[in-house]
């Protein structure tokens, strides 16, 4: 069964260091999302791609976060420098459809970040 792949599953870093997360969506899924989930809360959208283009990054803290999806397939989310408040689960999701309807979202297992 096709899955959304994410790595690393766990990352521990010290504040002010750089960290990067990788996501490979389900093959053929044009839309890719990065969400952040703080413990006990629902996921919050950070950035949304349609193919290689960013369609929504309004909630992405652009002073320290960046995201790219250069060839419209896999994606990287980077944080530099990491802060204590960035400790969270970073979830990647993909969907097949666009043009007015998200279609069903499929999530990866997530990357748990701990900033010390």
Q: Considering the complex, what minimum distance in angstroms separates the CB of residue 96 from another protein?
A: 12
CB of 111 to another protein, least distance (A): 10
Residues engaged in binding another protein (CB under 8 A) = 4, 6, 33, 35, 40-45, 48, 55-56, 91, 93, 98, 100-110, 112
Cβ proximity to another protein: between 48 and 79 the closer is 48
CB of 107 to another protein, least distance (A): 4
3-state SS of the chain is CCCCEEECCEEEECCCCCEEEEEECCCCCCEEEEEEECCCCCCEEEEEEECCEEEECCCCCCCCEEEECCCCCCEEEEECCCCHHHCEEEEEEEECCCCCCCCCCEECCCEEEEEC
Give whichever of 19 and 31 is closer to another protein, judged by the CB atom. 31
Task: Indicate the residue among 27 and 101 with the shorter CB distance to another protein.
Answer: 101
């Amino acid at each position: 069964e096709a899955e959304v792949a994410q790595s690393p599953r766990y990352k521990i870093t010290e504040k002010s260091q750089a960290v990067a997360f990788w996501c490979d969506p389900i093959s053929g899924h044009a839309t890719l999302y990065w969400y952040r989930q703080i413990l006990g809360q629902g996921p919050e959208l950070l950035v949304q791609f349609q193919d290689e283009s960013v369609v929504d990054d309004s909630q992405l803290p652009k002073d320290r976060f960046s995201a790219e999806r250069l060839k419209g397939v896999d994606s990287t989310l980077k944080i530099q420098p990491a802060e204590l408040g960035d400790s969270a689960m970073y979830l990647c999701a993909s969907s097949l459809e666009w043009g007015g309807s998200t279609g069903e979202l499929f999530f990866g297992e997530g990357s748990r970040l701990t900033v010390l």
